[in-house]
Amino acid sequence: MQRITISLDETLGDELDKMALGRGYTSRSEAMRDLVRDGLERWRGEQTSGAHCVANLSYIVDRRIRALPARLAEMQHANHDLVTASTVVRLDHYHSLETVILRGKDSAVEAFANQIRSERGIRFGAINMLQVSATDAHDEPEGHVHHGHPHLSPL
């Protein structure tokens, strides 16, 4: 493990301590490691294209919008190679929270997310994309056949 030293002004240090306490970190170091990981993941997402990712797309659906649930289902079926799973939570008589787990090339995942989020009746659409390495290599002592699917390992 590498050790680094940083200097923070008092206000930023206090905010870090509040965040660490609020999230249940046992130390500033653990909080900083997660903040650095998050920042690096965002930076990687900005730097790479054509890379693979796994993603969580969440949004609120207003079912009063004519045929919106059916259009969303059609979009998911049309992108079955990206959509791994989806779930719907009914919030009230008219609104649902839908979460879709995606995997694939980051450009395709982002295009799908933008298509969903741009639909009339979709609110609060947000995506969390995490870069992964798509490879057949792994440390398993006994080899096995992947049948055409790569492992998606976190970077």
Domains belonging to the chain, first-starting first, are: 10-47 (1.10.1220), 52-135 (3.30.70.1150)
Q: What pLDDT shows up at residue 57?
A: 97
Q: Which amino acid is it at 130?
A: L
The label of the residue with tokens 């009230």 reads 92
pLDDT of residue 48: 59
Kindly tell me if the per-residue pLDDT of 115 is higher than 70. yes
CA distance 109 to 115: 10
Distances (CA, A) of 34 to 10, 39, 78, 132, 138: 20, 9, 36, 17, 25
β-partners of residue 113 are none
The yes-or-no verdict on residue 29 having pLDDT over 80 is yes
- Average pLDDT, rounded, for the chain: 87
Residue 102 has pLDDT above 90, yes or no: yes
Residue type, position 107, single letter: S
Please check whether residue 17 is in contact with residue 27, taking contact to mean a CB–CB distance below 8 angstroms. no
pLDDT at position 114 is: 94
Q: pTM, whole model, 2 decimals?
A: 0.67
